[in-house]
């Protein structure tokens, strides 16, 4: 992992996942493990798309590790506004930072940036494609709540077409003999390329319109937002925006170990009455992002092995 960019969850092996999860756990249990680890290091966060959790959890992680942060959360405040290319932006920021965390709306932009950058790039989300650090914190959270990653029944709900967190997590979890229930409107079904991967790996999955058909069999319900920003036709968004709203009453009779996860932000796909149940775990999931991202940066910069 040292000096290697993280662009897709495929860039890491199953062994790498466990290494990151174990180090994140050590960091969570003992702050002395990470304090001052990034002393003298500068991390750049370049966000060409809005973010709360990814950017701020990276920045919180860097600051807690004694490093420094530079960057922008609004490309309008950078020289991109003057027409600077992504290549020139990356080549310039790489002169100032040891590591670049980048979110960009165009699929493939992070891979492209990693090919020109002299410092490692972490993909913090590229369009509808990949969000590998979210995936690793999701794996951490699933293992934390279920004590295993193996043989789990995971229900994905909502936007499975454009949901990059879903794409990364389906790929990663397919290493652990899961059963997947894929619940979405017809227009937001999981793209074929991911289904082909599931077929190749002999993963048991089925597609559904109704969450109630599968919720009682689930260990994890992974809810996603229907993303207005991915639709070119606002009418198409209006048709599906409220397709699924999970409420506390729908959790009655579900498995005792069931946890509801969501990469957040939510709009109204999880009713706030779910927040008060034992099954809600999305804010703890957001906290896990800090320790998981600490572990990724420490391994990438060769500060832990």
Quick check: helix, strand or coil at residue 238? helix
Alpha carbon separation from 41 to 30, 35, 70, 96, 117 (Å, rounded) = 21, 13, 11, 10, 17
CA distance 85 to 72: 15
* Complex with ligand CP: residue 28 or 53, whichever CB lies closer: 53
CA distance 67 to 60: 10
Contact between 133 and ligand CP (CB under 6 A)?
A: no
CA distance 38 to 160: 36
Contact between 227 and ligand CP (CB under 6 A)?
A: no
Quote the least distance from Cβ 286 to ligand CP, whole Å: 8
Quote the least distance from Cβ 285 to ligand CP, whole Å: 9
Note if the bond before 265 is cis, omega within 30 degrees.
Answer: yes
Please check whether residue 133 is in contact with residue 292, taking contact to mean a CB–CB distance below 8 angstroms. yes
Contact between 220 and ligand CP (CB under 6 A)?
A: no
Selected from 5, 8, 45, 54, the binder of ligand CP by CB under 6 A is 54
Residue 45 forms beta bridges with which residues?
A: 71, 101
* Complex with ligand CP: residue 99 or 264, whichever CB lies closer: 264
Size of the site for ligand CP (CB under 6 A): 9
Contact between 263 and ligand CP (CB under 6 A)?
A: yes
User: What is the set of active-site residues?
Assistant: 53-54, 82, 103, 131
Contact between 104 and ligand CP (CB under 6 A)?
A: no
Other Cβ atoms closer than 10 A to 49:
19
Quote the least distance from Cβ 262 to ligand CP, whole Å: 8
Q: What does the DSSP assignment read for 260-280? A: EE--S--SSSB-GGGTTSTTB
Selected from 3, 30, 36, 52, the binder of ligand CP by CB under 6 A is 52
Contact between 284 and ligand CP (CB under 6 A)?
A: no
Selected from 63, 265, 268, 273, the binder of ligand CP by CB under 6 A is 265
- Stretch in the footprint of ligand CP (CB under 6 A) among 50-58, 60-68, 215-223, 238-246: 50-58
Q: Where along the sequence are the contacts to ligand CP (CB under 6 A)?
A: 51-54, 125, 134, 263-265
């Amino acid at each position: 992992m040292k000096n290697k960019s993280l662009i897709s969850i495929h860039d890491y092996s199953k062994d790498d996942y466990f290494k990151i999860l174990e180090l994140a756990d050590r960091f969570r249990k003992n702050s002395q493990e990470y304090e001052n680890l990034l002393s003298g290091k500068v991390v750049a966060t370049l966000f060409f798309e809005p973010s709360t959790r990814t950017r701020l959890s990276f920045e919180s992680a860097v600051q807690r590790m004694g490093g420094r942060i530079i960057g922008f959360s609004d490309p309008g405040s950078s020289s991109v506004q003057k027409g600077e290319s992504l290549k020139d932006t990356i080549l310039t920021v790489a002169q100032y930072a040891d590591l670049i965390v980048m979110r960009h709306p165009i699929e493939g932009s992070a891979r492209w940036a990693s090919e020109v950058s002299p410092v490692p790039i972490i993909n913090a989300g590229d369009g509808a494609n990949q969000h590998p650090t979210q995936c690793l914190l999701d794996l951490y959270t699933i293992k934390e709540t279920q004590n295993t990653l193996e043989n789990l029944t995971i229900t994905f709900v909502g936007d499975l077409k454009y949901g990059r967190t879903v794409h990364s997590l389906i790929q990663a979890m397919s290493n652990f003999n899961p059963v997947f229930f894929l619940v979405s409107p017809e227009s937001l079904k999981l793209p074929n390329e991911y289904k082909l991967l599931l077929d190749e790996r002999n993963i048991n999955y089925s597609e559904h319109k109704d969450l109630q058909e599968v919720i009682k069999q689930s260990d994890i319900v992974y809810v996603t937002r229907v993303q207005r920003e991915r639709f070119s036709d606002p009418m198409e968004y209006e048709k599906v925006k409220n397709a699924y709203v999970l409420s506390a009453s729908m959790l009655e009779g579900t498995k005792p170990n069931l946890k509801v996860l969501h990469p957040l932000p939510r709009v109204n796909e999880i009713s706030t009455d779910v927040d008060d149940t034992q099954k809600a775990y999305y804010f703890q999931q957001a906290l896990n992002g800090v320790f998981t991202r600490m572990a990724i940066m420490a391994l990438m910069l060769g500060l832990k092995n």
